Amino acid sequence: MTNLNGYIVLITGGSSGMGFEMAKQLLTQGATVVIAARTGAKLEQAKKTLENFGDAYAVAMDVTSEESVANAATWVIENFDHLDMVVNNAGIGDNAPGMKELPKEHHFYEIPVSTMKAVIDTNFIGYFIVARKFVPIMVKQGHGSLVYVSTSTNTMTRPGQLPYGPSKAGAEAMTTIIANELKDMGIMVNIICPGGFTDTAMAGEDVKEFFQKNNMPILPPTIMNKAISFLASPASAGITGKKFVGKDMDVWMKENGIEMDF
């Protein structure tokens, strides 16, 4: 297992689900991890739990608010002398405002504009705001890694996946642009996704029930741990503009001759 002592990571949406599990994984490897989410008891409770695994911090951040992200960036600059990785993981989907009120089988024209805006605001513009504020820290120090947490490619265009799918498709396109712009500046920019329905707070109970009833695979929230550990390790040096699928990491590493002990 790579020793990550001195490696500093910020994970948006680190208060639950996959963000929380990635934080735990990197802490276990010795990294310093700052989790960020909207202010509240949930964030504090998550930090308290994570403190059992290592050097954990929490900072309030609403990714949809430029001011909130700027305040969090200032806090990071004041408290740490560098920042190695930012994981843009905060997101909403079936839990977005207005989604629950929609019939299970609905047409796109039934989706309230406010729901569309809320999802784009968090998953697309929120990602831009975070990258815009935190990447300059990496540019200044001459190294860093930006990770975007996305979804499976077929989710982006499957009927019923508006607005979530397109919000992630747009963010992946943005990631490609950012990766190309930063490729000669020592900053790696990559995408990770679980590779299927994952058991987290975001996933609606009804969807989970449907998966269970039909014996369809449900991935655990730890599914991204190998991908994030790999991207934080020296083995990933120089890799940029790529998409990694959590559930396929073992196969990918084998095919690429990478041996890692998790």
Residue 62: both structure tokens together: 């609403």
151 binds ligand NAP, rule: CB under 6 A: yes
- Return the ∠ at Cα 56 (arms to 64 and 58), rounded to 5°: 30
The residue type at 168: K
| 236's tokens | 């990933």
| Closest separation in Å from C-beta 186 to ligand NAP | 26
Among residues 229, 252, 237, the alpha carbon closest in space to that of 31 is found at: 229
Q: Which residue minimizes CB distance to ligand NAP?
A: 17
CA distance 156 to 191: 14
Cα–chain-centroid distance for residue 169? 14
- Please say whether the beta carbons of 191 and 172 come within 8 A: yes
Shorter beta-carbon distance to ligand NAP: residue 2 or 50: 50
If one asks whether residue 202 binds ligand NAP (CB under 6 A), the answer comes out as yes
Residue 80 dihedral angles phi and psi, to the nearest 5°: -135, 150
Residue with smaller CB distance to ligand NAP, 135 or 228? 228
Q: Which of 23, 149, 169, 191 binds ligand NAP (CB under 6 A)?
A: 149
- The single residue of 7, 127, 148, 164 carrying the catalytic annotation is 164
Among 4, 33, 34, 37, binds ligand NAP (CB under 6 A): 37
If we measure between CA atoms, which residue out of 87, 75, 90 comes closest to residue 38? Answer: 90
Indicate whether 211 belongs to the interface with ligand NAP (CB under 6 A): no
The one among 4, 7, 8, 19 contacting ligand NAP by CB under 6 A? 19
Binding mask 153-192 for ligand NAP (x = CB under 6 A): ----------------------------------------
Q: With CB under 6 A as the contact rule, which of the stretches 37-45, 99-107, 132-140, 177-185 interacts with ligand NAP?
A: 37-45
Q: Does 194 bind ligand NAP (CB under 6 A)?
A: yes
Active site residue 164: yes
Q: Residue 133: CB partners within 8 Å, gap ≥ 6?
A: 66, 69, 70, 72, 73
**Min dist. Cβ of residue 170 to ligand NAP (A):** 13
Pairing of strands 144-149, 85-88: parallel
We find the least distance from the C-beta atom of residue 221 to ligand NAP, in angstroms, to be: 6
Contact positions with ligand NAP (CB under 6 A) in 106-135: 122, 126
CA distance 258 to 248: 13
Active site positions, annotated: 164
